[in-house]
Every structure is written in structure tokens, then in C-alpha cells.
């Protein structure tokens, strides 16, 4: 898969079951990672976010979530994500990134 945006309901989005009946927002692929951009679940507590994480990991990609809101941060902690910091040239500073690597 090429790098760049992954929109809802597109062939790239469908690879991860990233559809507009479950989510709003976008994903972004960079190298071996899928970044969870600003997304929202349309049906909270239905397991759709967990399924999205699993689809991404099952396809061999790690997951990155930049500067999550507190509710998302709690989910990431429960799912075993690790807090890191990366320099983002787009904003000119280090930002908080939560990362989940592919199991090896």
C-alpha cells in the first residue's frame, strides 16, 4: 500500500473495514505504520475501534496515535500502546505519539 491518506469507504479504507457506518475521520499510512488521525466512532462500545486496531496489526502495520484525547488515551493504555515522543517537522517540535508495534 502506498503512503498517504486513507479515507472512509475507499478501497484502501475497506482493507481495514474503515467505513462511514462505523467511523468519521481519516487514517494515514507512513512506511510500516498506520496513523489514527482524528477519528470518531459512530457506535461507541460496539468494538469497532478494537476491530480496526486488529485489522491494522493483522495486515502487518504498527499503529501510531498522536496526542490522543483523554478517553482515547485510556483505551490505548488498556490495549498496550506505549507513550513515545517524535519530532514532527510539520509543527516544528516533539509531539506525544502512542505506538503499538506488530507482534513478532
Total domain count, the chain:
1
Percent of the chain residues topping a pLDDT of 90: 76
DSSP string over 35-98? EEEEEEESSTTSSHHHHHHHHHHHTT-EEEEES--HHHHHHHHHTT-EEEEEEETTTTEEEEEE
**What pLDDT shows up at residue 40?**
87
The pLDDT tens digits of the residues spanning 13-64 come to 999 999 999 999 999 999 999 999 888 888 877 889 999 999 999 999 999 9
The pTM (predicted TM-score) of the whole model is 0.91
In this predicted model, which residue has the larger pLDDT, 52 or 89?
52
CATH code of the domain covering residue 62: 3.40.630
CA distance 10 to 62: 21
The pLDDT tens digits of the residues spanning 63-83 come to 999 999 899 999 999 999 999
**What pLDDT shows up at residue 38?**
83
Q: Tell me the residue range of the domain where 62 lies.
A: 4-100
- CA distances (Å), origin 3, targets 12, 13, 55, 97: 11, 13, 17, 19
**What pLDDT shows up at residue 43?**
83
Amino acid at each position: 500500500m502506498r503512503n498517504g491518506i486513507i479515507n472512509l469507504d475507499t478501497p484502501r479504507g475497506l482493507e481495514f473495514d474503515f467505513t462511514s457506518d462505523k467511523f468519521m475521520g481519516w487514517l494515514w499510512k507512513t512506511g510500516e505504520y498506520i496513523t489514527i488521525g482524528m477519528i470518531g466512532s459512530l457506535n461507541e462500545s460496539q468494538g469497532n475501534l478494537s476491530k480496526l486496531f486488529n485489522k491494522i496489526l493483522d495486515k502487518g502495520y504498527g499503529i501510531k496515535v498522536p496526542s490522543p484525547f483523554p478517553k482515547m488515551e485510556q483505551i490505548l493504555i488498556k490495549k498496550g500502546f506505549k507513550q513515545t515522543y517524535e519530532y514532527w517537522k510539520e509543527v516544528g517540535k516533539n509531539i506525544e505519539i502512542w505506538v503499538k508495534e506488530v507482534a513478532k
